[in-house]
A and B are shown apart, each in its own frame.
Chain A
Amino acid sequence: MLSKQEVISTLEMLRHEHLDLRTVTLGVSLVDCASDDVGRFIARASRRIETLAAGLVATCDRLGATYGVPVVNKRIAVSPVALVGAPFAPADMVAVAHALDRAAGNVGVDFVGGFSALVEKGMAAGDRALIDAIPEALATTSRVCASVNVATTRAGINMDAVLRMGETVKATAEHTADADGLGAAKLVVFANIPEDVPFMAGAYLGVGEGDAVINVGVSGPGVVKRAVERAIEAEPGIDLGRISEVIKQTAFKVTRAGELIGREVADALGVTFGVVDLSLAPTPTRGDSVGEIFRSLGLASIGAPGSTALLALLNDAVKKGGAFASSYVGGLSGAFIPVSEDLEIAAAAARGDLSIEKLEAMTSVCSVGLDMIALPGDTSAEALAALIADEMAIGVINRKTTAARLIPVPGKAAGEQARFGGLLGAATIMSLPHGCGSNAFVRFGGRVPAPIQSLVN
C-alpha cells in the first residue's frame, strides 16, 4: 500500500508545481525513403511519418490521462534532411519542408525537427542546398524546425559554416520580418549536437539510430523551485550540500515519471524506447521558470554575481538525480536558460540584470547555450556568426553541447519588445556591443582545429 505522504507529495507536484512530461518525440528514420526524385522522396517520407505517428497524439493523451501527468508536447524528429535529400536543389528542399509540415499537421503534432545538416568538418552538396533553403522553408511552414551542427570537439569549428549560419539566421529573421523574425526561433546552430534530443528546435534522428524511437524530455523547474523553498523553510541552517541533495531527489522523481510514460508510449506504438532527456525546461508561465529558482536560492535575480555557480550546482544535481533514476539518459540533459521562454529570465533581461555576456558565461556550465535571445534588427550577419563562434568554442573546448538560437528582430532596436507567441514567449531585445559592424575574424574562414584533449586547464 502507498503511504499518505507518497500520494500527497506526488499530487502536490502535479496540482501546484507544473509537473508534466514536456515532450514525447517520435524519431522517424527517412534513410530508406531516399530517392533522387523529390516527388518520390516526399511521397515515401510522408507515408512513413503518417503511418508511424498516426497514433502518437492519442496514445500520449490516453497514457497522460491514465497517470494524471499531462504530456504537453508531442513531436516528430526525422533523419537529417541534408543527408536523406542529398541530391536535391534548394527549391526541392523547400518542398520537402512543406511536406514535413503537412505530415506533422496531419498527425496533430506541433513541431517536426530534422530539417538539419551536420557540417562540422565540411559541407556536401545536400548540406549547402539545405542551408540555402532554410530562410524560405522556415518562413513558409509553421511546424518545421531546423538545426545545423557546425562544430564538434573531435573536428573543431567549421568557420565557413559558422559564417554561413550567421547569414542564414539573418536571412531567416528577415523572411519573417512581420512576425518579429519568428523563423529564426525555429533555427538552432549547434556544437556537439546529440543524436537523440527530444526538445525543439534541435531534435533530429541521429544517423546511428534505428527505424523509429521514442525519446522523452522531462521538465519540472517549478517542482525543483518548490522543493528547494520547502527545504529552506523546514531546515534552518541548511547548506548547499543538502540543497543539492534535495534537487537530486526531486530530479529522481521527475525522471521516473517521464520514463514510465515514455516507455508505455513506446510499447503502445511498437517502437523502441530511447532516452530520457533530463532538462529543466521552462515555459512562459509563472511557477514554471528556471529563473525563479535563482531567487529561491538567494540571488536578487538571475544574472547577479553567483549565477554561474548556482547554475552549475543546479545542473549537476539534476543530472545526478536523473541518472540514478534512469539508465537511459541522453539528449541535452541540463537546465535550459531560454530568455523569451522563461518569464523570470525575460524579466531579468528587460531590467538589465542579465546581459548577453553573463548568459554566455552561464552556458559554460549548463545546457544548452545562447537560447531564444532577441537582438537588434541591425545586427550584422558577421556579428551573429562571431557570437555563434563564441558559443561553439565553449562547447568544443568543454566537450559539451552548446547551441545558439538568436533572433535579430527586423526593424527593432535594443530595449524594444519582440513577441514570438505561444511557448516561444516574448523578450526585450538585448544590446550587443559591436553588433552592427563588420567582423574580420569570422571572414578568415577555414576550420578552428580540434582542441588538445590533455593539458585541460
Chain B
Amino acid sequence: MTQAVISVLGQDRPGIIATVSEALLASECNIEGVSQTLLRAVFGALFVVAMPDDLDAETLAGRLAAAVEGMELDVIVHAYPATSDVAPPPAEPFVVTTHGPDRRGAVAALSGVLARHGVNVTDLQAVFEGGERPESNVMIFQVDVPDTVALPDLKRELGATAERLGIELNIQHRRLFEIMNRV
C-alpha cells in the first residue's frame, strides 16, 4: 500500500464528499483521514488515502477528475510526503485572537512574528466583514508555542505588531477555553 493526499477545492454543493469517496472506493483506496471546511461558499477538503500497490497518483488523479466532471472542482493528488522521524519540539497550545478594523497585511504581520519564534499555527479562522467595527473583524490563531520560547517576549512582539496595526490582540493558553466550554 502507498499513501496519497488528495485536495478538493471548489464551489460548495451537495454530493462532493459522496462523489469523491465513491470514486476512491471504486479504485480500492482506503480513506485514512479527512478534514473538510467551508469558507463562505467555498468547499475545501483534504483526504489521506492508502492506495493499492498497482495504482499510482497520476492514474488516481485522472479517475477522480472524471468522477467530478461538471462539478467545477479542482482535485489534486499529491504523493504523500515521507513521514518525518523528528518529533516536534515540546510545546504548549495557545490561542491568539485579534479584534479590530480590517487592516491589509494583518495576517502576514502576525503570522510572521509567530514564525520567527518557531510557533506553529495549527488552526486559523479569520472573519473580515470589513469596516471599522472591531467585532466584525476577528482572527483566531490556534498555535503551539515551543517550551523554549519565552512567552513574555512573544507576547510583547505580538502586542507591538497589533498596536502598529491598530487592532486588539490577546494570547491565552488553550486550556482556559476548553475547561470553560466543555463538560
Contact = CB atoms under 8 A, between A and B. Distances in A.
A10 B142 contact: no
Given A1-B123, A257-B180, A66 B172 contact: yes
A173 B132 CA distance: 53
B170 A11 contact: yes
B176 A10 contact: yes
Given A2-B174, A66-B173, A10 B181 contact: yes
A69 B176 contact: yes
Interface string A249-262: 00001001100100
Contacts of A327: none
Contacts, number: 62
A257 B142 contact: no
Contacts of A452: none
Interface residues of A, number: 20
Contacts of A256: 179-180
A9 interface: yes
A11 B97 contact: yes
Contacts of B181: 2, 6, 9-10, 253
Interface in B144-163: 151-152, 155
B95 interface: yes
A416 B40 CA distance: 60
Contacts of B122: 1
A253 B176 CA distance: 10
Contacts of A66: 151, 172-173
A257 B179 contact: yes
Contacts of B179: 256-257, 260
B23 to A, nearest CB: 28
B111 to A, nearest CB: 17
B125 interface: yes
Interface residues of B, number: 26
A8 B173 CA distance: 14
A6 B171 contact: no
A257 B176 contact: yes
A4 interface: yes
B142 A68 contact: no
Contacts of A444: none
A68 B168 CA distance: 13
Nearest to A16: B135
Question: Does more than half of chain A's interface fall in helix, strand or loop, or is it mixed?
Answer: helix
Interface string B10-30: 000000000000000000000
A7 interface: yes
B80 interface: no
Given A7-B140, A8-B138, A11-B97, A68 B170 contact: yes
Contacts of A4: 125, 127, 138, 140
B176 to A, nearest CB: 5
B138 A68 contact: no
Contacts of B177: 2, 6-7, 10
Contacts of A15: 99, 168, 170
Nearest to A69: B176
A457 B112 CA distance: 68
Contacts of A65: 151-152, 155
A260 B172 contact: no
A298 to B, nearest CB: 27
B178 A253 contact: no
Interface in A1-25: 1-2, 4, 6-11, 14-15
A65 B150 CA distance: 13
Nearest to A261: B176
A233 to B, nearest CB: 16
A117 B141 CA distance: 52
Interface string B119-133: 000110101000000
Nearest to A254: B180
20 contacts: A2-B95, A2-B123, A2-B181, A4-B138, A6-B177, A6-B180, A6-B181, A7-B140, A10-B176, A10-B177, A11-B170, A65-B152, A66-B151, A66-B173, A67-B175, A68-B170, A69-B172, A69-B176, A253-B180, A260-B176
Interface of B: 95, 97, 99, 122-123, 125, 127, 138, 140, 142, 151-152, 155, 168, 170-181
Given A2-B174, A67-B173, A256-B179, 7 more contacts: A10-B177, A14-B170, A15-B168, A65-B155, A67-B176, A68-B171, A256-B180
Enumerate the 5 nearest inter-chain pairs by beta-carbon distance, A residue then B residue, closest first. Answer: A68-B172, A6-B181, A253-B180, A67-B176, A256-B179
